[in-house]
């Protein structure tokens, strides 16, 4: 199991890559990643071609619902960001879950 600090670093890089892609430069969306094995949700904002204000908080009903939501284990997050795990097969098998509105899903599909 990865540490929360490792996950914060990995997620900052992953969302940062998404934010800097040409198709995402005009996005302004809240984003979160629920780390199932750590019981934490890391949330921030994807805006102006960068990721902002990434913070972690304990998972629970008080966690605000982000526009773009990822759910996975900490080890899958590290594997995804290191290139050991490809997003599409991980999503198709249920290891990684992505929830977003239809417009965001269509935009993200070309970025992932």
| pLDDT above 90: residue 97 | yes
pLDDT tens string 39-72: 999 999 888 877 888 999 999 888 889 999 999 9
Question: If we measure between CA atoms, which residue out of 71, 44, 66 comes closest to residue 55?
Answer: 44
What average pLDDT is seen over the chain?
86
HEC per residue, 40-105: EEEEEEEECCEEEEEEEEECCCCCCCCCEEEEECHHHHHHHHHCCCCHHHHHHHCCCEEECCHHHH
Round to whole Å and give the CA distance between 32 and 99. 10
Q: How many residues are present in the chain? A: 112
**Within its chain, how far is the Cα of 63 from the centroid?**
15
Give residue 74's pLDDT: 95
Instruction: Give me the pLDDT at residue 62, please.
Output: 83
pLDDT at residue 40 in the model = 95
**What's the pLDDT score for residue 28?**
87
| Domain ranges for the chain | 4-107
The arithmetic mean of pLDDT across residues 9-28, rounded, is: 78
The fold of 4-107 is Nonspecific Lipid-transfer Protein; Chain A (3.30.1050)
């Amino acid at each position: 199991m990865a540490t929360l600090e490792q996950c914060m670093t990995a997620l900052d890089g992953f969302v940062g890559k998404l934010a800097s892609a040409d198709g995402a430069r005009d996005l302004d969306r809240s984003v979160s990643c629920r780390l199932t094995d750590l019981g934490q949700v890391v949330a921030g904002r994807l805006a102006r071609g960068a990721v902002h204000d990434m913070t972690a908080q304990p998972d629970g009903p008080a966690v605000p619902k982000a526009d773009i939501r990822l759910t996975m284990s900490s080890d899958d997050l590290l594997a995804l960001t290191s290139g050991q795990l490809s997003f599409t097969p991980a999503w198709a098998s249920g290891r990684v879950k992505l929830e977003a509105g239809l417009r965001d899903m269509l935009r993200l599909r070309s970025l992932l």
